Chains A and B, each alone.
Chain A
């Protein structure tokens, strides 16, 4: 059974960079699951879901236009992990961050991590 697990600092200072890792278990992101889209989605406290972006075919990325200038998503196939970097953070970036898997482009997210809360504060 494929499982996703987010990890990273729970507190980031304003103007800093938010860095998160999603570890995938139960399958290889470069092997049996190489055609999936590996995504990041966030949810500010008490608010709705916002798609951040995804990576597919190891090196191709697509980002939410509203975040594109600050976001980088990358992957390390040797560790079966993918990553989120969000630069120049402000309090508005405080949110629960989820990693998720989609079986294709612009389709549903069929497997989610449990989420990790990141607070931006000095």
Chain B
């Protein structure tokens, strides 16, 4: 079955830039989406269609895509950004929604 691969954890200091990557063979042909999930809360969409920021999401969140890797970038990280981040896409036949394993962002 199709998989999206994320690093388990990323750590940055406040004010620095965090980059969280997601890799998958179908990503050149499929959009990716990013969610932020804080403890005890439902996920919140922070990036849509690789690069689009939904209304209400701070400008410090951005997305990019290159080949089989998509990247969520958080510029000027704040303590409140500490959370788990998940990428999401679809498999090659567009029959299954697939989530990455998640990356825990720690703000030092």
Where the two chains meet, the residues of A that have a C-beta atom closer than 8 Å to any C-beta of B are: 39, 48-51, 62, 64-66, 98, 105-110, 112-115
Residues on the A chain within 8 Å of B1, using CB: 65-66
**A51 to B94, alpha carbons, bound, how many Å?**
13
In the complex, the answer to whether A108 meets B98 with C-beta atoms within 8 Å is no
Verify if B74 is at the interface (C-beta below 8 Å from A). no
Residues on the A chain within 8 Å of B54, using CB: 110
**A39 to B90, alpha carbons, bound, how many Å?**
14
In the complex, the answer to whether A108 meets B42 with C-beta atoms within 8 Å is no
In the complex, the answer to whether B33 meets A107 with C-beta atoms within 8 Å is yes
In the complex, the answer to whether A106 meets B99 with C-beta atoms within 8 Å is no
**A68 to B30, alpha carbons, bound, how many Å?**
23
In the complex, the answer to whether B101 meets A51 with C-beta atoms within 8 Å is no
Verify if B88 is at the interface (C-beta below 8 Å from A). yes
Interface size class of B (residues with CB under 8 A): 20 to 34
In the complex, the answer to whether A108 meets B43 with C-beta atoms within 8 Å is no
**A106 to B99, alpha carbons, bound, how many Å?**
11
In the complex, the answer to whether A98 meets B42 with C-beta atoms within 8 Å is yes
Q: CB within 8 A of B43: which of A62, A106, A109? A: A109
Most buried by A among B44, B45, B100: B45
In the complex, the answer to whether B86 meets A48 with C-beta atoms within 8 Å is yes
**A50 to B94, alpha carbons, bound, how many Å?**
16
Instruction: Output the least CB separation between A29 and chain B (Å).
Output: 19
Verify if B13 is at the interface (C-beta below 8 Å from A). no
Extra contacts besides A48-B102, A62-B95, A114-B41 (16): CB < 8 Å:
A39-B97, A48-B86, A48-B100, A49-B99, A51-B98, A64-B96, A65-B96, A105-B94, A107-B31, A108-B45, A109-B35, A109-B43, A110-B45, A112-B43, A112-B44, A114-B42
**A110 to B104, alpha carbons, bound, how many Å?**
21
**A79 to B44, alpha carbons, bound, how many Å?**
26
Verify if B48 is at the interface (C-beta below 8 Å from A). yes
Closest to A108 in B: B33
The answer to whether residues A65 and B95 also contact, given A108-B45, A114-B42 and a CB cut-off of 8 A, is: yes
